[in-house]
Amino acid sequence: MNRGVMTENFDLFVDRTHSDAVKWSVYPKDILPMWVADMDFLSPPAVIKTLQNRVNHGVFGYTFNPPDLDETIVTWVNDHYHMPIESKEILYVPGVVTGFNMVARAFLKDGDGVIFQPPIYPPFFELKKNGGFENHCVDLVQNKEGRYEIDLAALEKGLRPNTRMFLLCNPHNPTGRVFSQMEMEQIADFCSYHDLLLCSDEIHCDLVYPPARHIPIMSLNEDIAQRTVMLFAPSKTFNIAGLGFSVMIIKNEKMMERMKKKFAGILPHPDLLAVLAARAAYQEGSEWLADLLSYLKTNRDYLLDYIHTELPDIKLNAPEGTYLAWLDCRETDFAKDPYTFFLEKAKVALNDGNAFGEAGKGFVRLNFGCPRDVLRKGLERMRNAMLAVQ
C-alpha cells in the first residue's frame, strides 16, 4: 500500500441497510450486493463536514451558486485534463443520464439514430423509448487477449442514413476500457467525417489506473470540440451519486444557446446541498481521491489474482478505469445465466450482463468499490458455489 493511503477508512464496513440505498435494499438480507455502481465507502471528510455545517445552519431558502463554483470546475478540468474551459461553457444538470437524454432531445428529431458501442451502460438503450430515437448499436470487439477494442470498419457499416449522434462512454462501463488517444482520434475523425453530434459520458473520468490516462475527446481539436457535449460528475469519484450534481460542457455557443432555450423552465437550479458537496469535493478531495485510487487498484489486482487462481473458468481483462469488473462466464457450466447462478447458489447479487445488450450474454458485472473484506467474502461465495456444481 502506498504511503498516505487511509486504509482504515476504506476497510471500514458502513451499514447501508437502513439508508434507503438501492444497492442494499433490493435483495434479501442473506444476499451480498455487489452490483449498483456506487461505492460502499464514506465520502471525503471535507464533503461530510461541509454538509454538516450547512445543515446545522437550519435554513434552506432560495440560494445562488457559490461565486467560485464555476472557477472550481474550470480549475479541476484544467489541472486534471489540461483542457481549458470557461464559465460560459458550463451548464449544471442533475445527472449524466439526464444530461445525455437532454442532448438527444435538444438536437435530434423523432426517428433519428444514436450510435453507441455495447456492451454498454443500460440507460443508453433507453434513449429509444424515452425520446423516440433509434438505437444503432455497434459492438466493441475483443482481441485474442480479451481486451475490448473499437472496430472502425464495423462503425462504418453500422452507420445509417438517419444516424445523427455518437454516444460515447469513456471510461467505458462495463468493460473498464480507457480509450487511448489514438482511439479517441479515430472516433473524433469518424464523427467529423460523417457530421455527427458527439455526446460523451465521461462520468468515470477521475477513476483511472496508470498507465492508462483519461483524455476528454473534446480536448483533441477544435472541430470535435465544436460538435461535442461532454458530461462528467463528482458522483462516482467522491461517492456522492445520491446528491444529483453533474456538469455539462458545451463549447459551441449556438449549441449552448439551444440547450438553454430548450430546457428553460424545466432544468432546475442545482440543489443547494449537492452544489456544496461537489464544490468541497473538487476543492479539498484530491488527497482522498489519490488514496481511493490506490485502494481500488489493490482491490482490482486482488480480484484479478483471485479469479486467475481460484476461478479459472471465468475470464477478466484488467479494468483500466472505473471500479467495475466485467466477468466473462461463457466457458462455465452456467454460461446461459451466470447472474441467476451466482444469485441463487452463491447469494451474491451482480449485474446481469444481458442488461448491457446482446454483447453481454454470458457476462456479469461486479462492483469492487467496497472494503476488501467484503470483496473477499463475495469471491469466496462465488468460488464455493462453483465448486459445489463440479
Q: How many CB atoms lie within 10 A of CB 328?
A: 20
Is residue 115 within 8 Å of residue 163, measured between CB atoms?
A: yes
Q: What residue type is 61 in one-letter code?
A: G
115 in the same domain as 171: yes
128 in the same domain as 245: yes
* Residue 163: Cβ-neighbour burial (10 angstroms; 0-12, 13-18, 19+): middle
Provide mean pLDDT across the span 316-330. Answer: 98
Residue 83 is part of a domain; what is its CATH number?
A: 3.40.640.10
336 in the same domain as 269: no
126 in the same domain as 85: yes
Residue 19, domain member (yes or no): yes
223 in the same domain as 90: yes
- Own/partner contacts of 56-62, CB < 8 Å, gap of 24 or more, are 60/272
Report d(CA 381, CA 30) in Å as an integer.
Answer: 12
* Res. 4 pLDDT band, cuts 50 70 90: very low
* Res. 2 pLDDT band, cuts 50 70 90: very low
Which cell numbers hold the place of 315? 475470464
Write down the pLDDT at residue 103. Answer: 98
Provide mean pLDDT across the span 76-86. Answer: 97
* Res. 3 pLDDT band, cuts 50 70 90: very low
| Structural domain ending residue among the three candidates 256, 284, 312 | 284
Q: CA geometry: angle at 126 spanning 125 and 127, to 5°?
A: 95
Q: What is the pLDDT of residues 150-199, one digit of tens each?
A: 999 999 999 999 999 999 999 999 999 999 999 999 999 999 999 999 99
Q: What is the pLDDT of residues 364-384, one digit of tens each?
A: 999 999 999 999 999 999 999
Which cell numbers hold the place of 146? 480479451
CA neighbor of 8 nearest in space, from 266, 381, 373, 383: 373
DSSP category for residue 379: H
321 in the same domain as 173: no
DSSP result, 191-257: HHHTT-EEEEE-TTTT-B-TT-----GGGS-HHHHHTEEEEE-STTTTT-GGG--EEEEE--HHHHH
The mean predicted confidence, pLDDT, of the chain is: 96
Provide mean pLDDT across the span 28-50. Answer: 97
Residue 1, domain member (yes or no): no
Helix (H) or strand (E) holding 348: strand 348-349
302 in the same domain as 199: no
Provide mean pLDDT across the span 200-229. Answer: 98
223 in the same domain as 183: yes
Residue 153, domain member (yes or no): yes
Q: What are 325's strand-pairing partners?
A: 366
Handedness of CA 280, 281, 286, 288 (dihedral sign): positive
325 in the same domain as 265: no
The percent of residues in the chain predicted with pLDDT above 90, rounded, is: 97
Handedness of CA 68, 69, 71, 76 (dihedral sign): positive
326 in the same domain as 260: no
| Structural domain ending residue among the three candidates 225, 255, 284 | 284
Residue 371, domain member (yes or no): yes
Report d(CA 289, CA 287) in Å as an integer.
Answer: 5
Residue 52, domain member (yes or no): no
Distances (CA, A) of 316 to 100, 210, 268: 29, 18, 41
Domain that holds residue 74: 59-284
* Residue 312: Cβ-neighbour burial (10 angstroms; 0-12, 13-18, 19+): exposed
Provide mean pLDDT across the span 56-83. Answer: 97
Give the pairing type, strands 363-367 and 351-352: antiparallel
Residue 51, domain member (yes or no): no
Is residue 34 within 8 Å of residue 366, measured between CB atoms?
A: yes
Q: What is the pLDDT of residues 242-262, one digit of tens each?
A: 999 999 999 999 999 999 999
Question: What radius of gyration do the chain's Cα atoms show?
Answer: 21
Give the pairing type, strands 134-137 and 113-116: parallel
Report the number of distinct structural domains present in the chain.
2
Report d(CA 358, CA 140) in Å as an integer.
Answer: 11
| Structural domain ending residue among the three candidates 226, 259, 284 | 284
Give the pairing type, strands 90-93 and 351-352: unpaired
Write down the pLDDT at residue 6. Answer: 62
Check pLDDT > 60 for residue 337. Answer: yes
Check pLDDT > 80 for residue 8. Answer: no
166 in the same domain as 277: yes
Residue 50, domain member (yes or no): no
* Residue 327: Cβ-neighbour burial (10 angstroms; 0-12, 13-18, 19+): buried
205 in the same domain as 105: yes
Residue 204, domain member (yes or no): yes
Mapped to the 3 state alphabet, what secondary structure does 220-237 carry?
CCHHHHHCEEEEECCCCC
DSSP 3-state of 27? coil
CA neighbor of 113 nearest in space, from 133, 137, 138: 133
